[in-house]
Structure 1
Amino acid sequence: MLQTLSRPPGARAPSRADAMVEAVRKAALSDLAPVVREVDAGGLYPEAALRAFGAAGAYAAHLPAGGPAGAADLWGAIQASAAAGEHCLSTAFCMWCQDALAWYIACSDNGALRAALGQLVASGTLLGGTGLSNPMKTFFGIETIRLKGERVPGGYRVRGALPWVSNLGPSHCFGAVFARPEGRYAMAVIRCGAEGVALVEGGRFLALDGSGTYGVQLRDAFVPDEDLLADPIDAYLKRIRAGFVLMQTGMGIGLVRACIALMRDVAGSLGHVNRYLDVQPDDLAGRLGVLESEIEALSATPFDPGPAYWRRVIEARLATSELAVAAAHNAMLHCGARGYVASGEAQRRLREAYFVAIVTPAVKQLKKMLAEMDR
């Protein structure tokens, strides 16, 4: 099992959230590292580790201070999920889901929701995810919206189905967007235990089976006004979009660090032949360092409304996907047959890396977005 490095390859200078990140590292060693194989091979949902990370403050460090218009810095949350990602990408992905849900609530103008549910999510007392894959694709012309809702006394009636929502369980909740008959969209928190909300087991994945991923069916589910995030959502989406995308980079950063460590671990026994490979661990570490510097800078201003900033966010997310796949591919080449066996770390990391490249926004969507910006 890989051990977490005290100063991982490509790590930047300590941030103000350094104590929290260090606490997450310790929790990852005690609560996550021993069950990584069971998460990957058996689909274990790492609930104990996720709650331990919440107790360490991992899901609160990025939230805006003093309300939705306050200052926010995402770097601590990104570093925390990267620390978990050095062990297990499935767990790092669940952390992103939790961070995103906390972000949605903290950025909402619904003060009562922020004070009540927001505190439970930020502490990890209540776990949950994000159902924004379909709307993210809808807004960029890839899919059509799957959830529809209409106004009723005291809230909304919502119907439809989402094929995959992660970090869920019977008592969890998630953020979702639904179309209104008036021609606009609304966004709210959906509670898994509510009447009319059903979780459906999906198929097996190549990796990430331990991410608590379910299909969700809403059959005229009532969503009270108390759980509303925004209606309409136009300005709200611009407020949350950079955080949604940037915080995904944490899982990629952690995976790249782990792949660099794998390559260095085999240098003693295979370095005499691995030196002929085109990509060496120091090459990847250099690329990671540059990428982390850019992400850290972008993380300091997540509410920047400028198009140039948004483009940099998309480019950083794309670079994370491409570096993750490159690092995992080259880790496999460096490890050779020992990485190709069913219990090999390199083959697990390669399977995980493809998730970084296909989770929304996927590489192809990011490239589409950049192309449309150019036009």
Structure 2
Amino acid sequence: MKPFEAGKESLIGMVRTIAQNELAQSVQAIDQQGLYPEAVLRQLAAAGGMSAHLRAPHGFNDFGLAIQSIAEVARVCGSTGFMMWCQAVCGLYMQEASSTVLQGAPLLSHVSGERLGGTALSNPMKTYAKIESFMLKAVPADGGYRVTGSLPWVSNLGPDHYCGAIASIADESGSRELMFLLRCDAAGVTLRECPSFSGMEGTGTYALHLNDCFVSPDDVIADPARPLIKKIRAAFVMLQCGMAAGVIQGAIDSMWAVEDQLGHVNCYLEDRPQDLQSELDELLARIMRLAETPYDDSDAFFIQVLDARAHGAELSLRAAQSALLHQGARGYLMSSEVQRRVRESHFVAIVTPAIKHLRSEMARLSQETMPA
């Protein structure tokens, strides 16, 4: 039986079981030793946890369910929840690809967890928001394109992994962008270790260097890229809300864990667990409504998604800090899940789109959509 044939409730149950057992046993190694939880990621993929948003026969076409799945995992480990998002959006790129080859066996292998991949769209998304410029450059070549450039860090990668990427093209027809599946084992591609981060060490994050890397038509996702980016931009950002929701819920769990012992003094703190839970529940209800129309490409809808994502990032910071204050000294131990979650919340706030990026984009789009 394929995972999604078991039903939606069974899918969430399987994801929760993996998260609370196999993943929970590895969280310390992921955070402290930089363990890349490849076996757990393959289990989560096989359970359907990273493909619920895809259309049949690969999933349920249910973005709300995909967000819930990511949240269940991020509640236990924010790093693994982030990698679920990477795998989920990479599957979305392949599903929407102009290449029928990518939509076939490669997508099936991706959905099953046989192959794993990420997304190298941080720089392009910042470029479209007028924050950066494209770091990858493509030139037409016989039977495809040649791409050169570097990206400072891309996650959920390994020697046999791949990621969705975008390169700018300048030729006689004008300027446009090429979106393609970048294979880490392709000629001209080098993966380099990144400096140590304060958190998210087990996320398979590397710097990517491309030197005259050939891209065949079989690996083209979109040419030009902008129409597809406009179609999936809300879905791309929306799926990240699962990361935020999981980190917030985990922080609330840690607050309740000490309520019996410390509630008599914790009652004097702001952002009590019941208050944060109410705010999270309201935010999740808003996200679930947005998830009903993930391909709405209007600016007005995208602003709503950006606002929900920003709210999730800000609530992550508040919840994680409050959990630390509620737990006191025990939450300040390096081995504490609360200490880890504080660092995970910082990542939710700075990963593309970061809070400042979200606010900047909302302001820009709001000005563009205002009547003259």
Aligned-residue Cα RMSD (Å) equals 1.4
Aligned partner of 2:53: which letter? H
Q: Does structure 2 conserve the Cα–Cα contact (< 8 Å) formed by 1:107 and 1:239? A: no
Q: Does 1:51 align with 2:42?
A: yes
Q: Does 1:214 align with 2:203?
A: no
Q: Does 1:329 align with 2:321?
A: yes
Q: Does 1:17 align with 2:8?
A: yes
Match of 2:334 among 334, 338, 342: 342
Q: Does 1:111 align with 2:100?
A: yes
Q: Does structure 2 conserve the Cα–Cα contact (< 8 Å) formed by 1:73 and 1:301? A: no
Name the CA distance, whole Å, in 2 between partners of 1:51 and 1:295.
Answer: 27
Match of 1:188 among 180, 188, 211: 180
Name the CA distance, whole Å, in 1 between partners of 2:154 and 2:290.
Answer: 27
How far the C-alpha of 1:71 sits from its partner, in A, is: 8.8
Alignment match, 1:225: 217
**CA shift digits 1:248-284 (9 cap, x unpaired):** 1111111111111100010111111000112110000
Aligned partner of 2:191: which letter? L
Q: Does 1:37 align with 2:12?
A: no
**CA shift digits 1:166-220 (9 cap, x unpaired):** 0000000000000001311010001101110110001000100000000000010
Name the CA distance, whole Å, in 1 between partners of 2:352 and 2:91.
Answer: 18
- Please list, as runs of the form range in 1=range in 2, the aligned pairs for 1:274-289 lying within 5 A after superposition: 274-289=266-281
Match of 1:178 among 167, 176, 185: 167
Aligned partner of 1:20: which letter? L
Q: SS state of the match for residue 186, structure 1? A: strand
Aligned partner of 2:235: which letter? G
Q: SS state of the match for residue 30, structure 2? A: helix
Alignment match, 1:143: 132
Q: Does structure 2 conserve the Cα–Cα contact (< 8 Å) formed by 1:31 and 1:48? A: no
- Please list, as runs of the form range in 1=range in 2, the aligned pairs for 1:218-257 lying within 5 A after superposition: 218-257=210-249
Q: Does structure 2 conserve the Cα–Cα contact (< 8 Å) formed by 1:59 and 1:121? A: no
**Identity among equivalent pairs (%):** 45
How far the C-alpha of 1:66 sits from its partner, in A, is: 7.3
**CA shift digits 1:205-241 (9 cap, x unpaired):** 0100000000000010111110000000121111111
Q: Does structure 2 conserve the Cα–Cα contact (< 8 Å) formed by 1:64 and 1:107? A: no
Bigger mean CA offset, 163-172 vs 137-146: 137-146
**CA shift digits 1:139-178 (9 cap, x unpaired):** 1111111000111122110000000000000000000000
Name the CA distance, whole Å, in 1 between partners of 2:57 and 2:10.
Answer: 22
Match of 1:84 among 67, 73, 86: 73
Q: SS state of the match for residue 336, structure 1? A: helix
Name the CA distance, whole Å, in 1 between partners of 2:19 and 2:363.
Answer: 39
How many correspondences in the alignment?
Answer: 358
Name the CA distance, whole Å, in 1 between partners of 2:98 and 2:168.
Answer: 20
Alignment match, 2:351: 359
Name the CA distance, whole Å, in 1 between partners of 2:337 and 2:360.
Answer: 33
Name the CA distance, whole Å, in 2 between partners of 1:313 and 1:74.
Answer: 13
Q: Does 1:273 align with 2:265?
A: yes
Name the CA distance, whole Å, in 2 between partners of 1:160 and 1:256.
Answer: 37
Q: Which runs of 5+ in 1 are unaligned?
A: 1-15
Q: Which runs of 5+ in 2 are unaligned?
A: 1-6, 368-372
Alignment match, 1:152: 141
Match of 2:190 among 187, 195, 198: 198
Q: TM-score, normalised by structure 2?
A: 0.94
Alignment match, 2:300: 308
How far the C-alpha of 1:326 sits from its partner, in A, is: 0.7
Name the CA distance, whole Å, in 2 between partners of 1:336 and 1:71.
Answer: 43
Q: Does structure 1 conserve the Cα–Cα contact (< 8 Å) formed by 2:98 and 2:220? A: no
